[in-house]
Structure formats: structure tokens, C-alpha cells
Chains A and B, each alone.
Chain A
């Protein structure tokens, strides 16, 4: 069964600090990996998408990395802001169909 595991489950950081979220997956064959931000009570919004040939992708203060060999990805948030408080979900798509495998998410709380 394809799995996507994220860590930590939650974290609290002070405004202005950096943090890194982890994602390990077993989806194979692999097509792409996306990081989504989901605000409470809202639908997920895409931050980055990476294929197997990409090692890093940035979107503003968000930088995602991918190691397709070890099946690991990370999302780094730089200079966190209060608006970064949300759940961050790692989603992996296999190359066999359109179904997405979702991680349980990491809840980030940024405090002033």
C-alpha cells in the first residue's frame, strides 16, 4: 500500500524563525510530489510540485527538496510569519493513475 508519512505531527515556532517539515513516502512508481498548505476550514492550496528529476523548488519563503532515491522530501519555511500557521500536507502521485496519496499533515503554529 502506498504510504506517505510526515513528521513532526505538529510544531510551534516563533515569528521570524525557520522550520523544516519532513515527508517520507513509499509510492512507486513515482510521478510527482506536492506540498500543500491548508488553512483551517479551507481547501488545500498548492505550494510546490516536483518531479523525480527535480531536487529543489522554491515558492517565496517556502523551499521544498526531494530525494527520489531515498524517497524523502522536506519543506523549509524561512522567516516564518503568523499567516504561515496552517497544516502542511505532503501529497505523492504515482505514475499508474491519477490518485494521490496524502500524508496526515504537519500543523504549524507561528506565535508572535
Chain B
């Protein structure tokens, strides 16, 4: 099955620093990747949709200058949390959608997540 990896699995950083999280599709090319944030005991919240070679589309309320997304290749998307603050501490999950699958059976494959703790 399709595998999506994330690196790092967890990171602790000081307030004001920037943190980069990588999302890779290991056995398929993903033209579209998605970034989610999940707070404790809550469900996933879509932050942005990342399309290879173009600018990401951010959901309402998500600061694009704070959460920088780069999707430079068909297998890699990165999320950079700039000038991180304690309120950015969360579980960040990416997903990737294999090309060639159309509705209604298309699906997204999720990465294992990255736990960010900002001190």
C-alpha cells in the first residue's frame, strides 16, 4: 500500500525559532499533499493544500507567512513553522493523494505525524 513518511517524528524548539517538517510519499508520486494540525482530543484540521510546482492554498484563518509550505517535487512537501510560539505546539500530519485515482474511490494516505513542542 501507499506509504507516507514524516520527519522528524517529534521536535522540541525554543520560542522564536523556525522548524521544518518533511512529508514524503515513499512509493508513489503525489501531485497533491495536505497539511493538517491536530490538537489534543480534537480531530484533524486542514491547514493547507499543497500542489507540486505551485503555491499552496491555505484554509481560512491559517497564516501563510507563518506556515510556509513548499512542494518542490512529486514526493516531497515541507512545512516550516516560522517564529514558533508555544501556541503552535501541536501534532502536525500530512497526507498525500496518489495521482490517477478519481472520485469516488480516491483516497488520501496519511503520514505518522510530527509532534511539535515549543518551549
Please list the residues of chain A having a beta carbon within 8 angstroms of any beta carbon in chain B: 31-32, 34, 36, 41-46, 49, 51-52, 89, 93, 95, 98-100, 102-105, 107
Contacts and interface: CB of A to CB of B under 8 A. Distances in A.
12 contacts: A43-B111, A43-B112, A46-B107, A51-B104, A93-B103, A95-B103, A98-B106, A99-B46, A99-B49, A102-B44, A105-B43, A107-B41
A32 B93 contact: no
A64 B103 CA distance: 19
Given A41-B91, A52-B104, A95-B103, A104 B46 contact: no
A3 to B, nearest CB: 12
Nearest to B106: A98
B35 interface: no
B93 A43 contact: yes
Contacts of B113: 41-43
B108 interface: yes
Contacts of B44: 44, 89, 102
Interface string B80-115: 000000000001010101000001111111111101
A102 B32 CA distance: 19
Interface string B1-33: 000101000000000000000000000000010
Interface of B: 4, 6, 32, 41-46, 49, 91, 93, 95, 97, 103-113, 115
Contacts of B115: 41
Which of B46, B107, B115 has the most chain A CB atoms closer than 10 A to its own CB? B107
Contacts of A44: 44, 93, 110
A89 B107 contact: no
Given A45-B110, A98-B32, A102-B45, 8 more contacts: A36-B110, A43-B110, A44-B110, A46-B107, A49-B107, A52-B104, A93-B103, A100-B46
Closest 5 CB pairs of A and B: A43-B110, A102-B43, A51-B104, A31-B104, A32-B104
